[in-house]
Chain A
């Protein structure tokens, strides 16, 4: 039998998701066609003849580990590859404030590779960076992130770390996230978690029956965590939120937990599976607990794995009784409104479910990528919401603008960078990564529902913005097939 990749403890690298999960980033059509192709296993990986700029693995890898309190980030890269860190730092500071902490900056160091190192190798600079980091910050862990440049010149980061490890007190951990290796940026999560799994997580000395690992990306806010904590507490369970705003010690203890679950299965996919294979921690990560039905299912999965089925049913019944009258009120106002959602694949299933709870019609969904992580939940969504337009795109605003122009939704829900495109077209928008709104659990439906009500009551920001904005694309493109630049056939 082939060795499972989740057990590849001696390797620092993980195969990219394109190869491991057959992730696709290019599809345009209807949801039922996509489900049909998936069920018949006929979905082929396609590409774009024209693509707008997008994220790389390194961005997401740093995003995964930057907020760990006792660790420092070193990017073995040209200085431009740390450009995202001032932004991630803002996320981190907001997160600390929401957790009642005094905000402090993310600590990051760039080896600042230049053309000389691209020719002669950057070993000396990486060594210097590790020694300096240890001296200046005395952290428990130092994460060394690779980049396109260090990948192309074939820098052996593992060997360099081995040579310098004896001279520093921090654990130095390589994270392989060479950007050019994959257009599926979620592969960067795997590189980060592989580093944590290989170097931070130890064999458990004991099992803690009350501890549940909840693997959340930085885009899941503190308010969502509070809701998850509240629901787990009703089942007498304690949440161990990793990897953000935590310590290397808490990550190390994740092998002692009774269960691993996640707010974002796309984020936790590799980590949860690896924890099970290496340390026998069972996991459930079928769906995102967003929307009533999904939260029910999420709780039931946890109940099933921990033998708490009866308690779960009691919680579901009580929670539903509590929130349903309020949801009915919201429903009266927003039901029948047409919504378009753009998000990462797990949220692209979660948020439409939440909107469907409020009686809204889903006219279109953009998912940043599509693979086995959501096959099942996406098919369920298609059954529930009917045949909507689906675009699998690693952020391609030109396709989205075209689709929005054709679908003319009442509301648009997307990421901060994309929402502005829709707003300039005049569609009222709400950001679905808003850290001041709850999305998770039962309270999430009410919290986000109220946000939608604001949009309904006063959509004038987008309307005015559209009146004063020049059209972004020519009329000729808006009349074209939005998927004109997809290469390959299904």
Chain B
């Protein structure tokens, strides 16, 4: 069983996948998930991490 985590500053596998795909120019991810997963993960990697890997999508 995985443990509870205090103040995690990383995300789930979907976050990593999105990060990779959006970093490649010309690729557009289609997120097959709940309504907020995209923004939830975007706010993690794009805003506090100084627009790490925002890619060519204008995020």
Contact = CB atoms under 8 A, between A and B. Distances in A.
Interface of A: 52-59, 78-87, 89-90, 105, 107-112, 114, 116-117, 124-125, 128-129, 132, 136, 148, 179-180, 182-183, 185, 395, 397, 416-417, 420-421, 424, 469-470, 472
27 contacts: A54-B35, A54-B36, A56-B37, A59-B39, A59-B40, A79-B5, A79-B12, A80-B14, A84-B40, A84-B43, A86-B49, A90-B47, A107-B6, A109-B7, A111-B4, A112-B2, A112-B3, A114-B1, A124-B1, A132-B4, A179-B35, A179-B37, A180-B34, A182-B35, A424-B58, A469-B58, A472-B57
Contact of B4 (A55, A90, A112, A397): A112
A404 B43 CA distance: 25
B34 A83 contact: no
Contacts of B12: 78-81, 83
Given A53-B31, A83-B11, A90-B48, A58 B36 contact: yes
B40 to A, nearest CB: 5
Interface in B6-57: 6-15, 31, 34-45, 47-49, 56-57
A185 B36 contact: yes
Given A58-B36, A148-B34, 12 more contacts: A55-B36, A55-B40, A59-B36, A59-B39, A59-B43, A79-B8, A80-B15, A85-B7, A90-B47, A109-B4, A112-B2, A114-B2
Given A78-B12, A79-B11, A87 B39 contact: no
A395 B39 CA distance: 10
Contacts of A180: 34-35
Contact of B5 (A110, A116, A472): A110
A108 B5 CA distance: 9
A53 B36 CA distance: 7
Nearest to A149: B34
A128 B4 contact: yes
Nearest to A148: B34
Assign chain B's interface to a size class. 35 or more
Given A53-B42, A59-B36, A114-B2, A107 B7 contact: yes
Contacts of B45: 83
* Most B-side CB within 10 Å, residue of A86, A185, A417, A469: A86
B7 A108 contact: yes
Q: Would you list the 6 A-B pairs with minimal beta carbon distance, nearest first? A: A56-B36, A53-B38, A80-B12, A83-B44, A86-B48, A87-B43
Contact of A109 (B6, B10, B14, B38): B6
Contacts of A395: 39
Contacts of A117: 1
B6 A136 contact: yes
B7 A105 contact: yes
Nearest to B3: A112
Nearest to A131: B4
A260 to B, nearest CB: 28
A89 B46 CA distance: 14
B54 to A, nearest CB: 9
A89 B49 CA distance: 12
Contact of A87 (B10, B15, B44, B58): B44
Contacts of B31: 53
B39 A110 contact: no
Contacts of B47: 87, 90, 416
Contact of A53 (B2, B5, B37): B37
A89 B2 CA distance: 25
